[in-house]
Amino acid sequence: MTIILTTLPGLAAQQVEETFKDIMDVDQKFFESSILPEAKFVDETPQKKNELGSRSGHMPLFKKTRLKIQYALKMREKKAAEKRAKFLKPVSPYEVTDEDINDIEIDFYNSEFEGFDEEDNQLVNEKIESKQSINQSKNDVEIKDNTIVGGIRTQKTDNEMMLDCDNVNMNEDTGEIEAIGSPVLVLPSQGVKLTADKMIYNQNSNVLKAIGNVVLTKGNMPVYGDYIQINMNEENILMDNITAAPTAMNVRAKKALSENNKLILTDGSMYSEKSNKFNFITRMIGPDFSRMIISDEDKNLLMGEDNAKLRIVADRINVNANKDHDTVQFKDAQVFYNDKYLFKLPSFTAYTNKEQEYVEANYPELGSIARFGMFAGPGFVFQAPFGSTVKLIPMLNYKNDIGFGGAIKYKSAFNDTQLMYGSSSDVFVLRGKQQLDDKLSLQYGSNAYMDDWFLGRRMPKYLAELVYDDNKTINDFLLEGRKLQFRHRASMAYAQDGEWNMHSENIRSSNIGTTRFRYMAEANQSLYKYEDKANRKSFELGLVMQGSAAVYGTGDTQFIGRIGPRIHTQYKYWMQDIGYFMSGFSDETPMPVYDMYRYGRSNIYIREALRLNKYLTVGWAGSVTLSNDSPNGELFQENAFIFSIGPDDFKVNLGYDFMRRTTYFTVAMMFDTKGTVVDFNKMEIKNPERLGRSERKKEDNIAFEQNKPQQPSVKKLEYAQVINIEDPDKESI
């Protein structure tokens, strides 16, 4: 027996649809993404790359404007071509719409179509006359039995529910309709299906109940429960003993209540039975430890693949979906590893934007920065407009004595800015970057080391620089199996010479502030490669060519060109990178402390790494001027030691740069969700319909995908790699 229930209001369909999404989104929004700041996922499958701005409608303003202009020009050209082709081709007048007639009348009589001959003009006039006669006859069309004469049927309403069952019992006294015998309730417009042992709809109270073995399904994603009640008057849904297995984490709770823009789960847990691996690899100075080949038997994993279990027990989890932000707060959470108590979090709150592109949290900040000294202090996060956050950090500061200071961190999807002051050093430090397009950015800073690519990290007094950075790889270039990597960088900047750059330098500042226009390029050609993973041996030989040309607002110039071989080797657990540069340069920079070329005519760089045991790897990075002609008189232009401590899936990296007197602290971690459990007494999700969903205007979500090649659909990511958690040149706070 099949019944179409047109008496139920559309609210029921909407509530079931939204509640289904709410339950499914609980794990997707907070357990598949990184909880570490500035993490970016890279899907290494051939069909897909998660690049900046890949989301339609959410991208930097400069890129969005550029694509809108390109899209408008393409659509204008396309529409003009289609219109001309359509009206010069003989077609039935029934295929011409009223809008087409209006357009063609305006265009035709204003002679906007060039190249029309007399035959074309006659064809257009015939189409206009035929369409006018059709419009005149519309008044004579009859409508009988919801059917327009001519065979075009009226469409079904989107609010219909279709109920299929073996038996239906109706009680006129109570107003109840009882469906038994494998009842199936379908919402065709939403693609949602509800099954149970029995369903009851009360026409008087406007309440729908499903009892026993309840399964709520959308697509291939089922939510299981013992009981569900949908109250269309009070706009709430109640489920008992729900279980959902959407993606990375299964969701289970004794009760689920949806009412007043809230989804409340009681006495529940989220757990993972699938292996979803995430690598958090922090870039850092010195050798790249991640390149080292390590045999499986020598690996030591903190979170082992077989029996490791991470468990979080929280009294309360609050999730709030605001207009521009999503936040998650853990209250009184205890963390266990393999049933061993680790630590307790009285309160921890994380903030992100709707696209999950960054995470900021109220954790303390500590570290060390050149000229500023050491610092430590608590962090307080506040929401800011357009999905951004502001973090305030009062701190203790130590340089030569103890002082006080503070910091402000502004973070959004495309901007990261830090401003600090400490009384101990009596200096302001500013560092920031705004992404404008995929390859275009603006970096700015004061008294902080800024990225100058292969010319090293330099500290200006003030800097604002517009940077275009692009790269390309050509496979099988010169030799089969070898590749050429080309990168170039163009920049326009205003800078003022700094007061301090490296320890013990005797270069005096000019205090000049001026503009600088610079172009840099690098060609890196692979010549030979050998790798034997079984015996932990590798050898790679390449050739690197680099060049830089700069013109300053003072009329001065700087030209640098250098070329040399590079070698990467590994023998057992000793890995090294060695390169040599023969350089030619003419350096007339008016800002010597900031950007004078320091590496001389003959320079060698070395990166060494030695794995001493499963818990300790040591490294050293140095750059030595062999020609003894560096302008600062120093033999070493780079000199840093790095210690990587811990098991292979959780490394703490400590380093110290002797030239810049800077301490580095980074983390590299591999995490597998399998075996992870989050238990909670209560989870409350406010505005669940807005969780991970932006309310930006529709015009901001223009279909820019037409500017991209279509990609085939791929299976859900089972393994993801996270890179660039820290800028290698960044002194983070």
Q: What is the 3-state secondary structure of 493-540?
A: EEEECCCCCCCCCCCCCCCCEEEEEEEEEEEEEEEEEEEECCCCEEEE
Whole-angstrom Cα distance, residue 658 to residue 691?
Answer: 47
Whole-angstrom Cα distance, residue 245 to residue 636?
Answer: 57
This prediction's pTM: 0.70
Question: What pLDDT is stored for residue 537 in this prediction?
Answer: 95
Packing angle between helix 61-88 and helix 118-137, nearest 10 degrees?
100
Q: Average pLDDT by consecutive 10-residue portion of the chain (733 residues)? A: 39 43 37 29 35 51 81 80 62 52 50 50 59 49 40 43 81 84 79 84 84 79 81 75 66 82 85 67 68 84 62 90 88 85 87 82 82 88 92 90 93 91 91 92 93 89 96 89 94 94 85 97 95 94 96 97 96 95 96 93 94 92 92 89 86 85 74 78 84 60 44 41 37 40
Question: What pLDDT is stored for residue 304 in this prediction?
Answer: 57
Question: Is beta strand 192-195 parallel, antiparallel or unpaired with respect to 207-218?
Answer: antiparallel
Whole-angstrom Cα distance, residue 343 to residue 346?
Answer: 10
Instruction: For residue 368, give Cα distances in angstroms to 365, 380, 405.
Output: 10, 20, 13
Whole-angstrom Cα distance, residue 611 to residue 574?
Answer: 7
| Strand (E) or helix (H) holding 717 | none
| C-beta neighbour count of 296 within 10 angstroms | 5
Fold of 2-39+155-274: lipopolysaccharide transport protein A fold (2.60.450)
3-class DSSP state for residue 290?
helix
Give backbone dihedrals phi and psi of 319, rounded to 5 degrees, phi first: -115, 125
Pseudo-torsion of CA 287, 291, 297, 300, nearest 10°? 50
Whether the Cβ atoms of residue 254 and residue 240 lie closer than 8 Å to each other:
yes
Angle among Cα 26, 31, 37 to the nearest 5 degrees reads: 125
Whole-angstrom Cα distance, residue 52 to residue 656?
Answer: 32
Residue closest to 216 by CA, chosen among 207, 226, 206, 231: 226
Question: What pLDDT is stored for residue 61 in this prediction?
Answer: 78
Sheet containing strand 152-153, strands side by side: 143-144, 147-148, 152-153
Question: What pLDDT is stored for residue 83 in this prediction?
Answer: 67
* 385-389 contacts, C-beta under 8 A, 24 or more apart: 385/324, 386/324, 386/412, 387/324, 387/325, 387/353, 387/354, 387/355, 387/412, 387/413, 388/324, 388/353, 388/412, 388/415, 389/325, 389/351, 389/360
CB-neighbour burial class of residue 486 (10 A; exposed 0-12, middle 13-18, buried 19+): middle
CB contact burial 235-249 (16+ within 10 A = b; e otherwise): ebbbbebbebbbbbb
Could you tell me where in the chain the CATH 2.60.450.10 domains are found?
Answer: 2-39+155-274
Both tokens assigned to 582:
């023969």
